[in-house]
Amino acid sequence: MSKGAMNIFAGELLLLRQNSEGCLILPSGNPVENVYVCGVITELQKNQKGQVTGARVADPTGVFRIYCGKDRAYCAEDLFSMKVPSFVSVYGEISAKVKGGVLEKEIIPESVCEITREERDLWIRGTALATIKRLERSFVVYDESYGIETLGIVEKALSVAESKEISDISSEGDNLDDICDRIMSFIAEISTKKGVLLDELYPVCESRGIKTEAVKKCLEKLLEDGELYLPSGGYVKIL
């Protein structure tokens, strides 16, 4: 990995803004250029020729997009060889542009490597520590809400790294209700106007410690309770 890369969670990437010079900075004043992130591939994005051009990757705090232009064909080839879902590490440069009044960010990768869940969890712990230290050493007096939100992002990530996978749940009791609540929050977090694709929801839940079979049991309950519905196209959406 090149020197100067920042370990950062997807949830904090969403907080990036551009200053008057066009540089991307966090509310803490820290500039962000090169980043090192880890997560789970939830979707491989392809062009009309079927060639991989990028991917959506989820960590426990959110989703980010990586884009492989012509000069990153070698990264696209690496992605093509991976399955969805797969744990990956990504090193690259943050790129941003304003679209529809919204600052959209993506990572232009220099390397994409398949990793294990254990390696992802180690990254989470290291990134959590680095994030807290960054807040403590900030040279900018930032809004208190940013500090609270960032610590919430750290806590959310650590809860996944420290938790055991949920693969077998009963059809009754608090365990099921708690997991359903978590899944509802995941759906709300990553939904578009159409909802969220089931093929994308399953790997996101896997990355946060909930096995697909457990997710399916919860979806059945949530559909029966009228919390969710199934539009066409393989989507699930909150009512």
**186-209, pLDDT tens digit by residue?**
899 888 888 898 888 888 888 888
| pTM score, whole prediction | 0.70
Q: Is 14 exposed, middle or buried (0-12, 13-18, 19+ CB in 10 A)?
A: middle
Under the banding of pLDDT at 50, 70 and 90, the label for residue 29 is confident
Residue 163: the pLDDT is 66
Taking the C-alpha atoms of residue 164 and residue 20, their distance in angstroms, rounded to an integer, is 45
| CA proximity to 78, closest of 65, 68, 93 | 68
Contact in structure between 197 and 148 (CB atoms under 8 Å)? no
| Lowest mean per-residue pLDDT among 85-99, 117-131, 145-159, 169-183 | 169-183
| 192, 195, 199, 205: CA torsion to nearest 10 | 80
Contact in structure between 181 and 33 (CB atoms under 8 Å)? no
Strand-pairing partners, residue 96, are 105
Strand-pairing partners, residue 46, are 52
